[in-house]
Chain A
Amino acid sequence: MRAKALLAMFLLVSASFAAWQTTAALAMVTSLILVAIVFMIGFGFGVDALTGMAKDEVYQLIVLAVMVAALYGTDSFINALSTNTELAQGAPNLQTAALLSLNSTIDSLSTDYASVRAVDKSAGIASSQMLSCQLQSIGYTVSGCGGFSMLAGPFSLAGTIMGFALGELNAVHRLIELGLAYALTLLLPLGIVLRTFRFTRGAGGFLIAIAVSIHILLPAGIVFVDMLGESFLASSDASLYQPKDTLSGVSASCEPGDTGDGNSDAAISVYNSLRAAIKSYMYIIFVKATLGPVVAVLMMSAGIRAISSLAGAEVDVSALARVV
């Protein structure tokens, strides 16, 4: 009697949902039929292992039905969380808020990078200059601008760090775009459908974990770091770290024939400008463009591990965490 009631309940599931939920319910019913066949074979031939497996599968189907219902309810919760005004910071939802933040950081970082490149170019031209003076192949060559060559290393390092940060921002931006477009419409429902069948349960649990992590945890990481950063910037200790493009007016110039202190003073002046400017770039480069994506990706990979484990698939995400 109880089995009949259970069967009826599963058959009614399909009527309760729409769109992907129908597919999930259909998958569950199919799985139930397969489980019934396995149970019948086991019962008919007296194979306890098969009947035991069938019973275990029924239990898994019940867990899955609860999970579908929970996710159906969680869908509204996720939407409410995503559109929470505190988290979304004026944007329609959490994901858009994270994308807007990333766009703004990419713009700021690109501007800063352009300024660094401009100073690097002028310093590069200055450092390469040599003066030659010859008469009938007799003469001399003076490299009075050699002092500027000390700037090549710092500029290369600065460019590498800024480029890396720009790459990180773009990678996270693309992942959030994917989450916004496909997490709830494709990955989550497909994960539920796959989790229904025993042989695809691992993959299904993994897809569910990816969907929730990319849709919620990844943008949340960006927004949380933004919130912390803004609180820091509002404090009195942060006056030196307010983001400013302080290198935009700096340029290197050299007089190659000048063998006095003028050129080395000019090179040191550019170096000092760079040193003084570092603090005004730190917030954008290290907090918004490096720490934000790193925290977001860590939250996502930890989320994938926890949720996939919850969904019955033990996935070693250390390979994904290495992406950080």
Chain B
Amino acid sequence: MAKPTILLAFLFLLLPALHADLAPPAVDLCSADFMSPIEVICGIASIAAILLIAFGYLLGQVTSNPKVSVWAKSEILQVLMSIASLFLLMLLVSSFCAINMSEVASIFDIPMAPNSAYSGNVYSAALGYLTNTLVFSHDALRVIRYHLEAFTVLSQISLFSCDMKSPSIDVFGVFSIPAIGWGCFFSYSGTQGQALGAYSSVMGALNLFYNSTLVAYITTLNFLFILMFIYKGFVLFLLPFAIFMRSMPYMRSFGSLLIAVALSFMIIYPLMLAVFGMMADVLLREPPNVAQFMNENTFPDNTGASALGASTAAALSSGAAYFEHIYFPNGDNVAGAIAFAAYAFIAGVFLPTSALLAAMASVNYLARIYGEDIDLSRILQMV
């Protein structure tokens, strides 16, 4: 009887720990303060779990039910495993904060400027990769948008040619009236039409790639949001909750999944992105002759007119070709815009998706370490 009494006293001694003050999460992942609240909350969760297990053991002893006592003993090991996971995470996070990616690059003989966006610790390098990919995708969007705007404006330019040489008119095959040739002198006679055509073949392709680049841009933004969410205290919720849930009856697989998710997204996902950042020299290389189309302040469809509304001499002499020249002084670069969109897709969709897949694979693997086999195929379909 003495043993259960001591346990009961121990339980009551632990209760005040549940009222510990929780500090808000620090912003910087690598600051000394970031892990402190996680440690506190995980500690509380561990204590709560231990309390519950101890209570179960007590109940088993009081009711002489060996099943409950055995359950309590096995659960203690699981709590220890969860706490070990916390220490592992702390160790890995502090290691990732200490690793400099430019030094990693030098191991693999990859040139990287020491002050580049990818040269900090693993977490800042991952952030640098997604931020620069976002800029890259946006640049691709700007180039395609410029072309789309230009071709839309150019296709709307209509031309009226006064009828100075209209064809002869055949009257019932009997005689023909010669060309009138008076055009606009007396009225409004002539030929009207699009001066530069409708650009059907270009608009279709550019619209397709505008949409795909928009998808790349939004996907990158989504991956960046996930990364920021991870950095701003993702584990703060998952890890303590997981430690507690793993000790609950029937909830172990859920708890294991949460620990696996916390570890994978804190370790694997940023690591993969930081590695892709090391390839930025090739990955984020723009196609040639596209920089001139990134000027979003140029809306030259009215630059041919003076303040009084009169056309300039250049506009008068060049006609519709004048506007074409304003938009594309050195010719358009549709092939370059399409290539840019393709590169943005690889950098903004293909590789970040690979990073997420690697994180998911890791979740599966880690969950297996904790003794649970979790089917994530449904979740992967969302990618």
Contacts of A221 in B (CB 8 A): none
Q: Is B148 an interface residue (CB 8 A)?
A: no
CA distance A49 to B264 in the complex (A): 23
Q: Tell me whether A43 is interfacial, beta carbon within 8 Å.
A: no
Interface window among B30-38, B193-201, B241-249: B193-201
Decide if A198 touches B197 in the complex (CB within 8 Å): no
Known: A164-B208, A207-B275, A313-B361. A175 touches B346 (CB 8 A): yes
A120 to B151, CA, bound (A): 13
- B341:A167 contact, CB within 8 angstroms: yes
In the complex, chain A residues 149-182 whose Cβ is within 8 Å of any chain B Cβ: 152-153, 155-160, 162-164, 166-171, 174-175, 177-178, 181-182
Most B CB contacts (10 A, CB to CB) among A116, A120, A163, A256 go to A163
Q: Does A124 contact B263, Cβ atoms closer than 8 Å? A: no
A162 to B205, CA, bound (A): 8
B interface residues (Cβ-Cβ under 8 A, vs A) = 77, 88, 92, 107-110, 155, 158, 163, 166-167, 169, 180, 186-206, 208-209, 212, 263-264, 267-268, 271-272, 275, 278-279, 281-283, 287, 334-335, 338-339, 341-343, 345-346, 349-350, 353-354, 357-362, 364-366, 369, 376-377, 380-381, 383
Verify B197–A124 contact, CB threshold 8 A.
yes
Q: How far is the CA of A113 from the CA of B333 in the complex (A)?
A: 12
| Chain A interface residues toward B at CB < 8 A | 19-20, 23, 47, 49, 106, 110, 113, 116-117, 120-137, 139, 145, 152-153, 155-160, 162-164, 166-171, 174-175, 177-178, 181-182, 185-187, 189-190, 194, 198-203, 205-207, 210, 255-258, 308, 312-320, 323
| CA distance in complex: A20, B268 (Å) | 20
Contact of B343 among A155, A174, A314 (CB under 8 A): A174
Contact A199 B358 (CB under 8 A): no
Count of A-B contacts judged by CB separation below 8 Å:
250
Q: Which residues of B contact A198 (CB under 8 A)?
A: 369
Contact A199–B346 (Cβ < 8 Å): no
Q: Are A124 and B339 in contact (CB under 8 A)?
A: no
- Name the CB-closest residue of A to B345: A171
Between-chain CB contacts (< 8 Å), 25 pairs: A117-B201, A124-B200, A126-B193, A129-B191, A131-B192, A134-B187, A139-B189, A152-B198, A162-B205, A163-B205, A166-B205, A167-B208, A174-B282, A178-B282, A178-B346, A182-B110, A190-B275, A199-B263, A199-B267, A206-B357, A313-B358, A319-B353, A319-B383, A320-B350, A320-B354
Q: Are A185 and B110 in contact, with the CB atoms below 8 A?
A: yes
Cβ contacts under 8 Å, A169 to chain B: 342
Smallest CB gap from B380: residue in A: A316
* Residues from chain A with Cβ under 8 Å of B360 in the complex: 315-316
Q: Is the CB of B271 within 8 A of A203?
A: yes
Residues on A with C-beta less than 8 A from B92 are: 199
* A-B interface, 3 closest residue pairs, ranked by CB to CB distance from nearest: A163-B205, A159-B201, A124-B197
CB distance from A103 to the nearest CB of B (A): 12
A312: chain B residues at CB < 8 Å are 365
**In the assembled complex, which residues on chain A have CB atoms less than 8 Å from the CB atom of B197?**
120-125, 128
**Whole-angstrom distance between the Cβ of A170 and the nearest chain B Cβ:** 4
Q: How far is the CA of A155 from the CA of B202 in the complex (A)?
A: 9
Which residues of chain A have C-beta atoms less than 8 A from B193's C-beta?
125-126, 128-130, 145, 256
Chain B residue contacts of A121, Cβ below 8 A: 196-197, 199
Q: Is A133 a contact of B200 with CB atoms below 8 Å? A: no
Q: A125-B196, A319-B383 are in contact. Are A206 and B358 (CB under 8 A)?
A: yes
A185 touches B198 (CB 8 A): no
Residues in chain A near residue B287, CB distance under 8 A = 170
A166 interface neighbour in B158, B204, B338, Cβ under 8 Å: B338
Q: Is the CB of B361 within 8 A of A203?
A: yes
A107's closest neighbor in chain B, by CB?
Answer: B335
Check A116 against B339 for contact (C-beta < 8 Å).
no
> Which residue in chain A gives the minimum CB-CB distance to B161?
A129
Q: Are A167 and B209 in contact (CB under 8 A)?
A: yes
Q: Which of A19, A181, A203 has the most CB of B within 10 A?
A: A203
A319-B108 contact in complex given A167-B209, A171-B345, A255-B167, C-beta closer than 8 Å: no
Q: By the criterion CB–CB under 8 Å, are A159 and B202 in contact?
A: yes
- In the bound complex, residues from chain B placing their C-beta under 8 Å from that of A314 are 361, 364-365
Known: A20-B107, A163-B209, A320-B354. A130 touches B192 (CB 8 A): yes
The answer to whether B282 touches A181, judged by C-beta atoms less than 8 angstroms apart, is yes
B279 touches which one: A134, A156, A178, A203 (CB < 8 A)? A178
What distance in Å separates the Cβ of A44 from its nearest Cβ neighbour in chain B? 14
- The smallest beta-carbon distance between A1 and chain B, in angstroms, is 30
Contacts A185-B108, A256-B191 supplied; 11 other A-B pairs, CB < 8 Å: A124-B199, A129-B192, A159-B203, A163-B202, A167-B208, A170-B342, A171-B342, A194-B271, A315-B360, A316-B376, A318-B381
Name A167's contact: one of B195, B212, B358 (CB within 8 Å): B212
Q: Which residue of B lies closest to A152 (CB)?
A: B200
Q: How far is the CA of A152 from the CA of B201 in the complex (A)?
A: 8
Query: Which of B187, B263, B334, B361 has most A Cβ within 10 Å?
Result: B361
